[in-house]
């Protein structure tokens, strides 16, 4: 009999298929090489195919959709509870097939090629920023070993680089190592700036991104990352659901009718969460310098530390972003406090 529901366990070279018919009986259990996957599904009648949302999943989802199949992507953490006993490829595929049939399962929207291209820019930029920070810290540490220190920030680091090939306090043998670190830091900075230029140019040409930039604390980088990661904001039922996906809602530990809320969960999309918190922190700095006019923000700063207020502002920003994208609206600022 033909399978109506298929669980597909993805891998680099060896894929596992587990299919059941309408009655739930297993009708196909097969291992495929990468080159066989497309041909195998091309011969099947249209079915519902489930996969974990992992590396390469969106590519295979688009491929199978092109062959007429319905594709359901699921977070790997949501599939794990359906895995029986020890982990094998066959049991992974069976767990995927079981999980995709649950009525309460949450699915991931398949991303377009253009969205993944923008995400590649953001992921590469984030990686290079981490590497640049590592190179900067290594350069400062190397200078500090010889008693040479500089002020914090980029300005202080450039002052150190300007003292190369080697200050008087640094032995000549260490000069080449310090120069290599400095060149690496400069090259990373150049590559990051080039990627940011491409992201900003693409953002200015996008109407939805221009609406997001109107929100305080959101710049071109944040707007581009949000639009690339969220194909359709309506997949979230509310702004709180979007904030929860970003890990900006309180962590819950409820039992016996008692509710205990902790700090933010930090689960979900880490990159966008960090961008929103950084943007909120910058917005708070500006507001405190020129006088806080937003009544909500003024009340928050009066009773909470600045860093806590920055996270709360980021959570509110996430809700605003959802409203703008899901409803097609423009940002409306709160009425300022009376002078």
- Can you tell me the distance from the alpha carbon of 308 to that of 312, in angstroms, rounded to the nearest whole number? 6
Give pairs for 295-304: CB < 8 Å, separation 24+. Answer: 295/334, 295/335, 295/336, 295/337, 296/334, 298/337
* Strand 26-33 with 48-52, pairing: unpaired
For the purposes of burial, counting CB atoms within 10 Å of the CB of 316, is it exposed (0-12), middle (13-18) or buried (19 or more)? buried
User: According to the model, what pLDDT value does residue 173 have?
Assistant: 84
User: According to the model, what pLDDT value does residue 295 have?
Assistant: 87
Q: What is the chain's length?
A: 339
Q: What percent of the chain has pLDDT over 70?
A: 97
Highest CATH level, class, for 5-99: alpha beta
149 confidence band (pLDDT: 50, 70, 90) = confident
User: According to the model, what pLDDT value does residue 335 have?
Assistant: 65
- Can you tell me the distance from the alpha carbon of 158 to that of 143, in angstroms, rounded to the nearest whole number? 13
DSSP secondary structure letters along 40-96: HHHHSPS-EEEEES-TTHHHHHHHHHHTT-EEEEE-HHHHGGG--SS--HHHHHHHH
CB 297 within 8 A of CB 311: no
pTM: 0.85
User: According to the model, what pLDDT value does residue 166 have?
Assistant: 63
User: According to the model, what pLDDT value does residue 337 have?
Assistant: 60
User: According to the model, what pLDDT value does residue 162 have?
Assistant: 84
* Strand 48-52 with 5-9, pairing: parallel
pLDDT digits (tens, 9 = 90+) for 28-46: 999 999 999 999 999 999 9
Rg (CA), the chain: 25
Strand extents, DSSP E, the chain: 5-9, 14-20, 26-33, 48-52, 70-74, 250-252, 261-264
**Strand, coil or helix: what is 253?**
coil
Number of Cβ within 10 Å of residue 128's Cβ equals 18
CB 114 within 8 A of CB 36: no
- Can you tell me the distance from the alpha carbon of 332 to that of 320, in angstroms, rounded to the nearest whole number? 10
pLDDT over 80 (residue 153): yes
Tell me what the pLDDT averaged over the chain comes to: 91
1 confidence band (pLDDT: 50, 70, 90) = low
Only one residue has tokens 């953490």, namely 77
CB 67 within 8 A of CB 38: yes
pLDDT digits (tens, 9 = 90+) for 224-252: 999 999 988 988 999 999 999 999 998 88
3-state secondary structure 271-328: HHHHHHHHHHHHHHHHHHHHCCCCHHHHHHHHHCCHHHHHHHHHHHHHHHHHHHHHHC
120 confidence band (pLDDT: 50, 70, 90) = very high
**Residue-range domain boundaries for the chain:** 5-99, 113-204, 207-327
User: According to the model, what pLDDT value does residue 338 have?
Assistant: 55
**Cis omega (within 30 of 0) for bond into 165:** yes
């Amino acid at each position: 009999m033909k399978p109506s529901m298929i669980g597909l366990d993805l891998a680099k070279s060896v894929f596992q298929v587990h299919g059941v018919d309408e009655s739930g009986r297993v009708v196909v259990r097969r291992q495929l090489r990468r080159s066989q996957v497309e041909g195998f599904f091309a011969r099947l009648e249209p079915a519902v195919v489930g996969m974990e949302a992992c590396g390469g999943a969106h590519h295979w989802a688009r491929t199978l959709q092109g062959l007429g199949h319905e594709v359901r992507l699921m977070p790997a953490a949501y599939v794990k509870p359906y895995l029986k006993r020890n982990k094998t490829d066959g049991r992974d595929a069976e767990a995927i097939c079981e999980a995709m049939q649950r009525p309460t399962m949450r699915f991931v929207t398949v991303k377009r090629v253009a969205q993944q291209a923008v995400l590649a820019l953001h992921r590469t930029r984030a990686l290079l920023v981490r590497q640049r920070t590592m190179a900067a810290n290594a350069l400062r540490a190397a200078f500090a070993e010889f008693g040479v220190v500089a002020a914090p920030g980029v300005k202080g680091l450039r002052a150190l680089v300007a003292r190369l090939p080697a200050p008087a306090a640094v032995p000549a043998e260490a000069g080449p190592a310090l120069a290599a670190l400095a060149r690496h830091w400069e090259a990373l900075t150049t590559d990051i700036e080039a990627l940011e230029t491409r992201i900003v140019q693409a953002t200015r040409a996008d109407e939805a991104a221009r609406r997001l930039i109107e929100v305080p604390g959101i710049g071109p980088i944040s707007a581009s990352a949000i639009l690339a990661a969220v194909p359709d904001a309506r997949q979230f039922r509310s702004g709180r659901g979007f904030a929860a996906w970003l890990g900006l809602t309180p962590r819950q530990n409820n039992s016996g009718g008692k509710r205990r809320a902790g700090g933010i969960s930090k689960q979900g999309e880490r990159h966008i969460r960090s961008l929103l918190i950084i943007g909120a922190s910058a917005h708070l700095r500006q507001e405190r310098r020129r006088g806080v006019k937003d009544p909500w923000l003024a009340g928050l700063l009066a009773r909470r530390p600045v860093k806590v207020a920055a996270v709360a502002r980021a959570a509110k920003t996430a809700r605003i972003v959802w409203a703008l994208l899901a409803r097609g609206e423009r940002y409306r600022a709160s009425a300022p406090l009376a002078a």
